[in-house]
């Protein structure tokens, strides 16, 4: 999966919290949200609009990012609710490890693994 496919899939599954997501889908979308936020901050500083563009970008990407994170955790056979451990600073470490881990190759309670189309 490439950068564009990831963005398309994550926005088309805007609030879909069931199913599974590949590592590449999650991490490409994460990079997209980071770059979008960086661009919004730059636009805000150049235009003098306060934090307007940043907050627009944050609102637009919040739900798809949470949904993609839940689907990514499902791929490693964890509940999407585990994202809440990021509230504790130390909880970010296992969360990053799970998000970076290879997903299961067999069906789990969240569905079949995603087939890579080339």
Do 110 and 77 form a contact (C-beta atoms < 8 A)?
A: yes
What's the number of CA atoms in the CB half-sphere (13 Å) around residue 102? 3
Q: Which residues pair with 111 in a beta bridge?
A: 108
Model confidence, pTM: 0.87
Question: In the chain, helix, strand, coil percent, each to 5?
Answer: 65, 0, 30
Q: What is the Cα–Cα distance from 83 to 109, expressed in whole angstroms? A: 18
**Span 76-112, pLDDT tens digits:** 999 999 999 999 989 999 999 999 999 888 888 888 8
For residue 113, which of 26, 20, 24 has the smallest C-alpha distance?
20
- State residue 66's pLDDT score: 96
Report domain extents, the chain: 3-100
């Amino acid at each position: 999966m490439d950068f564009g496919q990831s963005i398309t899939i994550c926005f088309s599954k805007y609030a879909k919290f069931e199913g599974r997501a590949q590592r590449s889908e999650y991490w490409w979308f994460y990079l997209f949200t980071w770059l979008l936020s960086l661009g919004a901050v730059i636009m805000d500083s150049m235009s003098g609009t306060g934090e307007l563009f940043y907050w627009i970008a944050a609102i637009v990407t919040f739900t798809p990012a949470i949904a993609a994170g839940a689907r990514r955790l499902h791929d490693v056979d964890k509940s999407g609710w585990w994202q809440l451990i990021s509230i504790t600073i130390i909880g970010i470490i296992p969360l990053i490890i799970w998000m970076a881990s290879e997903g299961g190759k067999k069906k789990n309670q969240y569905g079949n693994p995603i087939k890579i189309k080339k």
